[in-house]
A and B are shown apart, each in its own frame.
Chain A
Amino acid sequence: MTGEMPGPAPDERMRPAGRRNTQGIRIDPEAEVTHEPRQAVLSALVEHEPGVLAEVSGLFSRRQFNIESLTVGPTEDDDVARMTIVIEEPQPGIEQAKKQLQKLVPTISVTELAPETTRRELALIKVSGEKPDDVNAVAEMYGGQAVDVTADSVTVELTGSQQKIDAAVEAFDQFDVHEVVRTGTAALERGGHTLENDD
């Protein structure tokens, strides 16, 4: 009547037995694999030119990759910058993020760094200056040091893994934290291997 077509109804048709999960992976009835999110550290060498940071951050936001931190800075080569991007995604998402990042024209190379990679983050924590000695003691515990002391505040500098900084920030909580700034993770692989001799 109004564009209807002949043919058997949906419930009269041949049906397949299988199913896929939401990631488009066929579900094996024997061993169902679901991918839980995990943390991955991606290190990318990119051309050091205007607009690259916007291009990379735009890619991650529009494809809804869950970014924990993104740092960027110059390298030994003036024309090249290195980005360290920490994401939390299931395995297929990590693979996608790497491939999409690699596709950007200014991207030279992308590598996921091994879990035992050297990772460091810098934090500056400004707390109340009421108990400078106690602040110093906690700073020392975390291998940090006071870098600015005034009558009403002490600013402590710390470096370490993200977990260590998390713990330190928590420990400083007792002194009435005024401000915290963290750089996000920078990372390099252990040993002689470099991104440039990657391929």
Chain B
Amino acid sequence: MSERASVQQDDQAESEATEAQEPVTTGAQSVIRALENAGAEYVFGVQGGAIMPVYDALYDSDIGHVTMAHEQGASHAADAYGIVSGEPGVCFATSGPGATNLVTGLADANMDSDPVIALTGQVPTDFVGNDAFQETDTVGVTQPVTKHSYFADDADTVGDEVGEAWALANEGRQGPTLVDLPKDVTKGETDVEPSGPEKPDTYDVPEEADDENVQEAADALAAAEKPVMLAGGGVIKANASDALRDFAFEYEIPVITTMPGIGCFPEDHELSLEWAGMHGTGYANMAITNTDCMLAIGTRFDDRLTGGVDTFAPDADIIHVDIDPAEISKNVHADYPLIGDARDTLRQLYDAMPAAPDADGWRTQVQKWKAEYPMDYSTPDDEPLKPQYVVERFSDVTPDDTIVCTGVGQHQMWASQFWEYTEPRTWVSSHGLGTMGYGAPAAIGAKLAAPDQEVVCFDGDGSFLMTVQELSVAVRENLDITYVILNNEAVGMVRQWQDAFHEGRRMASEYPWIPAFDKLAEAFGARGFRLEDYDNVEETIQAAREYDGPSVIDAIIDPAENVYPMVPSGGDNGLFALSEQHLEQL
């Protein structure tokens, strides 16, 4: 148990920790025992009628509980916990509205393959189907956005079902699972001890890729003149960052990441092109467009990465390594499909490479692009504070393992572009679903998963307002998190699109009034700072970092600032715009 767990039940649990585990007597106890067997450390949740028996069983457990302000917060905190720790994050909610409030977080975890297990209370089995108080068809609602949703119907088997849901969330391509727990099942008597987490028999997890296919792929890559590696979130999920680095360093192949892949390769290395796609770097987008052979690992070729598939890496042979066979040739055809674990398969490929590709010219070209398309921005005296500057200064003074969380919008893009990432599991964001409001609760989950690492959350004013209530949790748990609100008094990303694609008709994108976030922070019991001038950037960052507990910097930034480079939706990555003028030419 982490020191930082300022959770009510801890003292009591610790005094009992030396005693042997009591045998289970109810379904609820067997649910909690299954979580203990799996190694759960924390639960993020909100109480309520139908889940009460499960909470009652948690009373006697060493597992810490963090009471969140809203179940959406619980699901995002669990998601971030899953990203940072690599193990499933756990969230609890009651039936009906509690369960439906989890849905956004489950959908988010499903899109980003984050390991999460949700346990929801349900009305007693006899009432199911009668529109009972707080009844929702939780399995029906969540099935499309989870790896699988279980309906528990027996106190004797519910513990094993929870164990299975844990294993399913964790193994193969990670993702969210849910177990719906009717109250009569959790209250029901049982003496069956659940076993450890075990995946369902029908769920196969591929390990090594086929050797012959690996050899063919390695031969193709070795023969390439313009090779790149494209590293997705799967590299981080598979703990394959070291294998990726070994491969890239040995064979001197430039590395592009996807957004979820940020951190798997050090951005300060000369082979790093950072990340490609809609707001990726110019050099990554040039390289990904002009490559003749791409080794893509653990990516699902999302449309924000590829732009239009017709113009995506159109000259490239694609080697696609993925643990999920359904990702192979889903969006972009794989010439060399390799189904397997990213780490194992990278090691196989490493050994199979007959030689390094002869790519001196290409590497020179890539460096030229880096010089031609620098990620520069200007800081004129007569314009308000630029967000990029705030992000860069923060990145400069923090340790390499600092964790960055974000909301969704322009601020998310600046946080990913102008922070320098060098370690896996330090970038915690909402990619596939693009969920505003993700940041505030995610920072809580991240901090509990890595109490010894600094956690910074760059949030937008709009995103922060969606889950700001979770600040109360950060204060209550005394979590040392720095929230930086890049405040442009607008849903800026929408404003940018309106200016670019809707003749500047700014419908519902600017806030005529917005709360002072520094004062709001103080009202919650956090430390608040207001930042307006370049002169104060460093000292404000310093003061916020030094404060022991959650702090909020309300950074008043230039509302006119836009995010570039930009590939319009469905566009050609190689034709990224660097200005509004470029957009008009496209």
A interface list, Cβ under 8 A from B: 1-11, 13-26, 47, 50-51, 54-55, 58, 62, 92, 95-96, 99-100, 102-108
Contact = CB atoms under 8 A, between A and B. Distances in A.
B288 to A, nearest CB: 10
Contacts of A50: 151
A19 B574 CA distance: 13
B477 interface: no
A26 B579 contact: no
Contact of A24 (B290, B326, B331, B376): B331
Nearest to A46: B202
Contacts of B377: 3, 5
Given A16-B574, A24-B301, A108-B202, A5 B314 contact: no
B202 A107 contact: yes
Contact of A58 (B144, B148, B335, B373): B144
Nearest to A11: B585
B105 to A, nearest CB: 19
A47 B144 CA distance: 18
A104 B324 CA distance: 12
A157 B572 CA distance: 57
Contacts of B151: 50-51
A4 B376 CA distance: 8
27 contacts: A1-B378, A1-B380, A2-B558, A2-B560, A2-B561, A4-B580, A5-B374, A5-B377, A7-B282, A10-B574, A10-B582, A10-B586, A13-B574, A16-B289, A16-B290, A19-B314, A20-B310, A23-B333, A24-B329, A24-B333, A25-B333, A51-B139, A58-B144, A96-B330, A100-B326, A105-B200, A105-B202
A58 B314 contact: no
B295 interface: no
Contacts of B314: 16-20, 26
A92 B290 contact: no
B172 to A, nearest CB: 9
Contacts of B563: 3
B286 interface: yes
A3 B310 contact: no
B1 interface: no
DSSP class of A's interface residues: helix, strand, loop or mixed? loop
Given A13-B286, A105-B147, A5 B329 contact: no
Contacts of B561: 2-3
A70 B281 CA distance: 47
A55 B149 CA distance: 10
B562 interface: yes
B143 A54 contact: yes
Interface residues of B, number: 61
Given A15-B574, A51-B139, A105-B203, A5 B309 contact: no
Nearest to B380: A1
B315 interface: yes
A22 B331 CA distance: 9
B564 A4 contact: yes
Given A6-B376, A20-B333, A51-B151, 12 more contacts: A3-B561, A8-B372, A13-B286, A13-B574, A14-B574, A16-B315, A19-B310, A20-B310, A26-B314, A104-B148, A105-B148, A107-B202
Nearest to B310: A20
Top 6 nearest A-B pairs by Cβ distance?
Answer: A18-B314, A24-B332, A99-B326, A3-B562, A7-B373, A4-B579
B311 interface: yes
B326 A103 contact: yes
Nearest to B375: A5
Contacts of A100: 326
- Candidate in B316, B333, B375, B376 with the most chain A CB atoms within 10 angstroms: B333
Nearest to B148: A105
B312 A96 contact: no
B282 A5 contact: yes
Given A10-B586, A19-B311, A5 B376 contact: yes
Given A5-B375, A7-B282, A103 B324 contact: yes
Nearest to B306: A24
B311 A62 contact: no
B45 interface: no
A10 B576 contact: yes
Contacts of B580: 2, 4
B168 interface: yes
B575 interface: yes
B495 to A, nearest CB: 11
